[in-house]
Amino acid sequence: MSKSTEKVLITGSNGLLGQKLVKYFQEHNIEFLATAPNENKLSFCPNKNFAILDITNMVKIEEVIQSFNPTHIINTAAMTNVDACEEQETECFNVNAIGVANIIEEIEGTDIHLIQISTDFIFDGKKKLYAEEDTPNPLSNYGKSKWRGEEVIFESGYNNFTILRTSIVYGVGEKLNKGNIFSWAINELRAGKDLNIVNDQFRTPTFVDDLVQACAKVVDSNEFGVYNIAGGELLSMHEYIVKVANYVGADVKKVHAITSEKLNQKAQRPISSGLDIDKAKTELDYIPTEFVLSLSKIDLDN
């Protein structure tokens, strides 16, 4: 498909991934509609390219999709606070699973390409590195709801979809509602504070720009199926934050290793939920940015 015919609808455009996608499509002159459940918070996104869309609202889904008539929908919208999902199960499933079902219901019978963003938290973390065909066994409401979001796509029989599973997405954004461990750790370290970071949760942290590149590649080439899109290194969260601390010139002795038991998060996390990216490397030419290089591309003063 040539770029001039692409019309990309982005859900969750005020979120970290959503806003980076908006920027990418804007910079590449690809027609897009940014959507979010409340007002447009992005200084760089013109209001003519924005519409209110709560994916739990079927009437709005119909209205926005029918009026914009996209060729692609990238569904980044989700309830992403994993501990809040544990306490607000209904809201969590409404957004992360029923929201996806709503989109599928509206696009059934069309050839709109749905790109759904999913997570390593659909796995139980017993295996270290997960491939696309591994069997999900989510531990938390968040993981269960995101897996249900994938299942509704598989069960619908709708074939024009790509699911991109990712893990610990890092980067900085504008007016984000939900902070992330990356920005939080940098702010705390710069304020001279001590951090307690778990050394028994292993992830493949993902540079948000790499995830954007993968989405763009999927839009451009219309590759369908399930792909893991993550960083190239399996790290404990402690190793990860030590690397970040080293980069920003903070005292790494302030990054203390603790166990998950001690951190006592509300929702159970997988121990090791790294994502194996071999399939994406082969089929999408996906190459994650080397960690220190990725940090050099992030404006850490914003």
Ligand X SMILES: Cc1cn([C@H]2C[C@H](O)[C@@H](COP(=O)(O)OP(=O)(O)O[C@H]3O[C@@H](C)C(=O)[C@@H](O)[C@H]3O)O2)c(=O)[nH]c1=O
Interacting residues toward ligand NDP by CB under 6 A: 11-12, 14-18, 36-38, 54-56, 76-80, 95, 99, 117, 119, 146, 166-169, 176-178
Q: Which amino acid appears at position 111 of this protein?
A: D
Binding stretches for ligand X (CB under 6 A): 80, 82, 119-121, 167-168, 180-181, 196-198, 201, 237, 263, 269
Neighbour count for residue 226 (Cβ, 10 Å)? 18
Give which of ligand X, ligand NDP, none residue 92 binds (C-beta under 5 to 8 Å, depending on kind).
Answer: none
Give which of ligand X, ligand NDP, none residue 215 binds (C-beta under 5 to 8 Å, depending on kind).
Answer: none
Q: In whole angstroms, what is the distance from residue 28 CA to residue 25 CA?
A: 5
Judged by CB, which is closer to ligand X: 30, or 208? 208
Q: Are 22 and 11 in contact (CB under 8 A)?
A: no
Judged by CB, which is closer to ligand X: 11, or 49? 11
Virtual torsion, Cα 115, 117, 120, 121, nearest 10 deg: -130
Find where tokens 């295996």 sit: 127
Judged by CB, which is closer to ligand X: 142, or 158? 142
Judged by CB, which is closer to ligand X: 30, or 198? 198
Give which of ligand X, ligand NDP, none residue 55 binds (C-beta under 5 to 8 Å, depending on kind).
Answer: ligand NDP
Torsion-angle region of residue 211: left (phi > 0), alpha (psi -120 to 50) or beta? Answer: alpha
Give which of ligand NDP, ligand X, none residue 17 binds (C-beta under 5 to 8 Å, depending on kind).
Answer: ligand NDP
Q: In whole angstroms, what is the distance from residue 233 CA to residue 213 CA?
A: 18
Judged by CB, which is closer to ligand NDP: 99, or 270? 99
- For residue 174, what are the contacts with CB-CB under 8 A and spacing of at least 6? 19, 41, 42, 43, 44, 302
Q: Are 32 and 8 in contact (CB under 8 A)?
A: yes
Give which of ligand X, ligand NDP, none residue 117 binds (C-beta under 5 to 8 Å, depending on kind).
Answer: ligand NDP
Q: Strand 202-203 to strand 235-236: parallel, antiparallel, or no bridges (unpaired)? A: antiparallel
Shortest Cβ distance from residue 165 to ligand NDP (Å)?
Answer: 7
Judged by CB, which is closer to ligand NDP: 117, or 298? 117
Give which of ligand NDP, ligand X, none residue 263 binds (C-beta under 5 to 8 Å, depending on kind).
Answer: ligand X
